[in-house]
Amino acid sequence: MTARTSPEASRDIPEATVARLPVYLRALTSLVEAGTRTCSSEELAGAAGVNSAKLRKDLSYLGSYGTRGVGYDVDYLRYQIAREIGVEQDWPVVIVGIGNLGHALANFSGFRSRGFRVVALLDADPSRHDEVVAGIDVRPFADLEAIVREHGVAIGVIATPAVAAQDVADRMVGCGITSILNFAPTVLSVPTGVDVRKVDLSIELQILAYHEQRKAQGEATPATTGPGDPAHHELVREETA
Amino acid sequence: MTARTSPEASRDIPEATVARLPVYLRALTSLVEAGTRTCSSEELAGAAGVNSAKLRKDLSYLGSYGTRGVGYDVDYLRYQIAREIGVEQDWPVVIVGIGNLGHALANFSGFRSRGFRVVALLDADPSRHDEVVAGIDVRPFADLEAIVREHGVAIGVIATPAVAAQDVADRMVGCGITSILNFAPTVLSVPTGVDVRKVDLSIELQILAYHEQRKAQGEATPATTGPGDPAHHELVREETA
DNA sequence: GCCGGTTTGTTCTCCCGTTCACAAACTCCT
DNA sequence: AGGAGTTTGTGAACGGGAGAACAAACCGGC
């Protein structure tokens, strides 16, 4: 409607596009590391696993950073996307729940390299407060508010069992955290203005199971299941928003 | 998507609905454990964090399992959804890559209780082949094909570093695996007919960062809601226009 | 048997996202 | 300089999902 000729059209980015920007960013970072200077929308789309038209439309929401007849300057585009997402600055993050998953998250190297810094690991279990995980010592959950205030934390990660997740979320919101990444298999209820994204292993597996069952049912199709069959190299859709 | 002629009464269920069925299933399981016999669409929608109209429409794709004026029989509906998803049967699953994340996944208790059984843990690193994780001993990656054949595995989980993920996926597909859950931060290329779902921590965090940046930018707007504001469910969209 | 209250299943409309197709814009070669 | 060949950015068509609203169906009381 109104985003016709606005130069810094950073007001109207669709949610579906926002979800793909990190994918483009990763692909561009790979290209930068490989020494590539420029790339076409076709190449970048291939690396990101999307349609080139969709890629171009997504990028058009950020502005006109390409050159017709040439393509995109890889490093420049990478910077623009990173700035748009907000990962040029460092985001302090707290992780609550240092079980198996919490360990894995704390040790995940992709944090620091992608604009995030784990400033604290919290757990309600006092027996864990001796531990040092990934160079960070585990502190009592009660320290949450002090840590959030000290570091200006806006993003919290919940890696607790399901029963504790809502409590943790409430406390986080109470401390001023406004974005939560939830790994616990439960539905969180939060006030408006707080963003929650969930990562749920069981749900993903069950979605796969549904399609798998469907494949098994419609087994009338001729055998394409041979071991040596690297036929098509097309990408499989997986977006579910 | 391949429009397959429906072999039975179960027609094609929209993808968005399929993605929500596991959420309903979990909510119903909770209700069953709480001893609830029946529930209305409003109650179930609340527990699942969705709109009741959307819930009813979703369920209508499965059939008419409710009773007007009464609601749904909790246990009956739970069974029907489980059957539709395909988690009444047990799905054998292999996990490749037993690092921090692989450990967490292997120890995840939600597998067995939700229709999945980890039949093997594989890792390319020989130094890990002594380990026993979650009661399952880690075996060489080369054993993949034998294990897939023996157990009839259709679902594979990739928890390796990004550089190894495409290789692992290729081998999985070569062995006959047709559904892959990918935790590695990379885009997988697979033949048509193979489903890939990805779980990507960095992407989720970056999406949160984007919205967080937006909130910080638009700090000029007067506070519309106080801190104590128990309201919405789930993912909360922000002030678009 | 019938009436009022309740809740489901479904229809209709609107909006978002995807994809096609093409003009605009740029480079390179002659 | 000009034309041929590329590639971007975007208008427009299309399909699918979300939400409101309502008719159909069921229960209980009398």
| Domain positions in chain A | 15-85, 91-201
Q: Supply the CATH classification number for the domain A15-85.
A: 1.10.10.10
Chain C: nucleotides below 7 Å from protein CB are 5-11, 16-21, 24-27
pLDDT band of residue B61 (cuts 50, 70, 90) is very high
A52 touches strand C (CB under 7 A): no
Token pair belonging to B48: 């699942």
How much is the pLDDT for A4? 32
Token pair belonging to B29: 């399981």
Binary contact (B176, A227; C-beta < 8 A): yes
Where do the H-state alpha helices sit in chain A?
15-33, 41-48, 52-62, 74-85, 100-107, 110-113, 144-151, 162-175, 201-217
How much is the pLDDT for B83? 97
How much is the pLDDT for A72? 98
How far apart CA A136 and CA A165 sit, in angstroms, is: 22
The structure's pTM equals 0.89
Token pair belonging to A44: 């970048």
Could you give phi then psi for residue A180, rounded to 5 degrees?
-130, 130
How much is the pLDDT for A9? 41
How much is the pLDDT for A216? 87
Per-residue model confidence as pLDDT tens digits over B16-55: 999 999 999 999 999 999 999 999 999 999 999 999 999 9
Per-residue model confidence as pLDDT tens digits over B131-164: 999 999 999 999 999 999 999 999 999 999 999 9
How much is the pLDDT for A95? 98
Binary contact (A155, B209; C-beta < 8 A): yes
How much is the pLDDT for A175? 97
Indicate the DSSP class of residue A189: B
Report the side by side order of strands in the sheet with A71-73: A38-39, A71-73, A66-67
Nucleotide nearest to A39 (CA to C1'): D7
Provide the Cα torsion B79, B80, B86, B89; round to 10°: 30
How much is the pLDDT for B134? 95
Token pair belonging to B222: 């007067």
Nearest to B207 by CA among B165, B238, B184, B180: B238
Nearest to B74 by CA among B37, B33, B24, B43: B37
Indicate the DSSP class of residue B233: B
Indicate the DSSP class of residue A182: E
Mean pLDDT score across all residues of chain B: 88
Which residue spans within chain B are E strands per DSSP?
38-39, 66-67, 71-73, 91-96, 116-123, 132-133, 136-140, 155-158, 179-182, 195-198
More confident: B139 or B130: B139
Question: How many CB atoms lie under 10 A from the CB of residue A62?
Answer: 20
Is residue B238 pLDDT above 80, yes or no? no
B108 touches strand C (CB under 7 A): no
How far apart CA A91 and CA A114 sit, in angstroms, is: 10
How much is the pLDDT for B236? 36
Residue with token string 């009741």: B52
How far apart CA B128 and CA B103 sit, in angstroms, is: 12
Within 8 A by CB and 6+ apart from A150, the residues are none
Does residue A17 sit in helix, strand or coil?
helix
A214 reaches B (C-beta below 8 A): yes
Binary contact (A93, B205; C-beta < 8 A): yes
CA quadruple B133, B149, A216, B167: dihedral positive or negative?
positive
Chain A residues with CB-CB distance to B15 below 8 A: 240
B237 reaches A (C-beta below 8 A): yes
Is residue B68 pLDDT above 70, yes or no? yes
B151 touches strand D (CB under 7 A): no
Question: How many CB atoms lie under 10 A from the CB of residue B67?
Answer: 10
Distances from the Cα of B113 to the Cαs of A22, B26, B37, B68, B135, in angstroms?
A: 33, 11, 21, 32, 16
- Would you list the DSSP string of B174-211? HHT--EEEE-SSS-----TT-EEEE--HHHHHHHHHHH
Residues B190-204, mean pLDDT to the nearest whole number: 96
Return the CATH number of B91-201, one of 3.40.50.720, 1.10.260.40, 3.40.50.800, 3.10.129.10: 3.40.50.720
Low-confidence ranges of chain A (pLDDT < 50): 1-9, 221-241
